Amino acid sequence: MIKQISVILLSFLVITGCNNSAMKRNTEIEKRLHSSIIMVSDNSTSKTFLNTFDDFEWDKAFLVQPYTTQTDLEKQVGVKFTDPSNIGSRDDIYLLVFINGGKAVQYAEIDHLNTTFSLGDKEYLEPSNDVIYIER
């Protein structure tokens, strides 16, 4: 009986340890970026600095475009990342994925709101170079 319970407990720990449970959705960044978007007038471009929104450790952040497949998303961010937003079939959001120490640690869903987001000519953001361009 003790052996069976040990096997079940070990199986549970292995299963829960292999998911994205350490990764969290950052709704605070979502709210703050949403406020920044609303302040941009039509037919103009603005920029916002990501470090004014963050309160956690990250070394890279990737902006993922709508309709990006799971395979392309993992290729872009360079780590295993099970997308909880299902961006591969959505055009209403962009996804911002934060990496720290080679692991996805947080993500934010950014409402599209007839807005185009970009990182300029950068592949990803870093804490020292964290400008997101907003165009309406």
> pTM for this structure?
0.80
Residues shown for the chain:
136
Residue 1 lies in a domain: no
Residue 14 lies in a domain: no
Going by pLDDT thresholds of 50, 70 and 90, the confidence category of residue 1 is low
Distance CA 106, CA 104 (A): 6
Residue 3 lies in a domain: no
Residue 26 lies in a domain: yes
Residue 9 lies in a domain: no
CA angle in degrees (0–180, nearest 5) for 85-91-94: 60
Query: What's the structural domain count of the chain?
Result: 1
Model pLDDT, residue 22:
65
Residue 108 lies in a domain: yes
Q: Is the pLDDT of residue 64 over 70?
A: yes
* Residue 80 lies in domain: 21-135
Q: Convert 26-56 to b/e letters by CB count within 10 Å (16 or more is b).
A: beebbebbeebbeebeeeeeeebebeebbee
Residue 86 lies in a domain: yes
CA angle in degrees (0–180, nearest 5) for 94-85-133: 15
Residue 125 lies in a domain: yes
Across 90-94, 100-104, 110-114, least confident range: 110-114
Tokens for 108? 């934010």
